[in-house]
Amino acid sequence: LKVFTEDVKLDLKQDFVLGRVLGKGQFGTVRQVTERATGARYACKSIAKRRLCTATDVEDVRREVQIMHHLSGHPNIVQLKDVYEDRGYVHMVEELCTGGELFDSILERGKYSERDAAGVFRSIAAVIAHCHNMGVMHRDIKPENFLLSAGGTGGSSVVKGTDFGLSCFFSEGQSHKEVVGSALYVAPEVLRKRYDKRADVWSLGVLLYILLCGEPPFYAETERAIFQAILTHDLDFSSEPWPSISGAAKDVIRRMLDRNVATRISAADVLQHEWVRVDGSAAEAPL
């Protein structure tokens, strides 16, 4: 099987020394690698070809690479440096994010202050606004797929979006029906198999809710019950810490977690929302 026919490189180990495992995903492993020529470090996502069982799986890998090239240049998106293909694997050599997943940072901190959450969230919303501008739906927005460029809690770390493995190109007015993504983040219209780019905005809303309180807005023991909650449950803004969180934060969350896609806020307008624009400090009085 050849996944790529165009000019991909063949011998990863000739150019890079393989290092420790950084993470594991659906189709393969992500390792730290060091470029022999420069000593520079990168992340290498290796996808085992034997796991690519269907023509769709192969198409998905091609599309992931194509979309990363298409979106490249944005400061908050992980850069793809090179693609290698050998007998067993496709290797995607990417910019290294040494700070790990936003997911782990949330677990460590419990939750974010409004100011910190707004800073992180602004970058995440910017990634999605860029995707939508470029005709791409991400379809897998969750804290595991946003990485921190550097370690520590210092101000130097930048949030970078990655994992375009479930992403796809769209055209305006086109409706999609494949149910993809992760249960906690999936939009109600995705479950109804009729959705477009606005489904990403719902997932952004789930992510921000989690950033601010440490818990998902729609939770249950089984996947089925989670879907039921997504379709019907009201948002809980009465439990701790919500009474002390600003009205502006709740407003932007409500606008993203709007089940009516016709009135749901767009990613571009999320960036213009007062809470996102001014570091979560806009609202003094909790609503």
Look at residues 79, 60, 200 and name the one whose alpha carbon lies nearest to residue 136.
Answer: 200
CA–CA separation, 111 vs 124, rounded Å?
16
Q: How far is the CB of 251 from Mg ion (least distance, A)?
A: 30
- Does residue number 68 form part of the binding site for ligand ADP (CB under 6 A)? no
Strand partners, 77: 161
Query: Using CA atoms, how far apart are residues 221 and 81, in angstroms rounded to an integer?
Result: 40
Distance CA 261, CA 267 (A): 12
77 binding ligand ADP? (CB under 6 A) = no
| Residue 156 in the binding site for ligand ADP (CB under 6 A) | no
**Contact pick of 45, 63, 130, 139 for ligand ADP (by CB under 6 A):** 45
- In degrees and rounded to multiples of 5, residue 17 shows phi and psi of -100, 130
Is 102 a binding residue for ligand ADP by CB under 6 A? The answer is no
Minimum distance, C-beta of residue 141 to Mg ion, in the bound complex (Å): 11
Please list the residues that pair with 183 across neighbouring strands: none
Kindly state the tokens that stand for 172: 């305006």
212 touches ligand ADP (CB under 6 A): no
In sequence order, what are the residues at sequence separation of 6 or more whose Cβ sits closer than 8 angstroms to the Cβ of residue 92? 44, 45, 46, 47, 64, 65, 68, 80, 83
CA angle 182, 155, 248 (to 5 degrees): 60
In terms of DSSP bridges, do strands 28-35 and 16-24 run parallel, antiparallel, or are they unpaired? antiparallel
> Which partner from the list Mg ion, ligand ADP, none does 147 bind, CB cut-off 5 to 8 Å by kind?
ligand ADP
User: Is residue 90 close enough to count as binding ligand ADP by CB under 6 A?
Assistant: no
Minimum distance, C-beta of residue 244 to ligand ADP, in the bound complex (Å): 32
**Residue 49 marked as a ligand binder:** yes
Of 7, 60, 82, 140, catalytic: 140
Q: Which CB, 39 or 173, lies closer to ligand ADP?
A: 39
The rounded radius of gyration (Å) of the Cα atoms in the chain is 19
Among the residue ranges 161-169, 234-242, 246-254, 265-273, the one whose residues contact ligand ADP (CB under 6 A) = 161-169
Take residue 238 and report the two structure tokens written for it.
């009465």
Mapped onto helix, strand or coil, the DSSP state of residue 193 is coil
For binding to Mg ion (CB under 5 A), which residues are involved?
25, 145, 163
Residue 214 contact among Mg ion, ligand ADP, none, beta carbon within 5 to 8 Å by kind: none
216 close to 257: Cβ distance less than 8 angstroms: no
Least distance between Mg ion and beta carbon 186 (Å): 15
Active site residue 86: no
Counting contacts by CB under 6 A, is residue 25 touching ligand ADP? yes
Q: Which of the choices Mg ion, ligand ADP, none does residue 23 contact, using the CB cut-off of 5 to 8 A by kind?
A: ligand ADP
Which parts of this chain interact with ligand ADP (CB under 6 A)? 22-23, 25-27, 30, 43, 45, 78, 94-97, 101, 144-145, 147, 162-163, 165
Residue numbers annotated as active site:
140
Point out the annotated binding site. Answer: 49
Point out the annotated binding site for ATP. Answer: 49
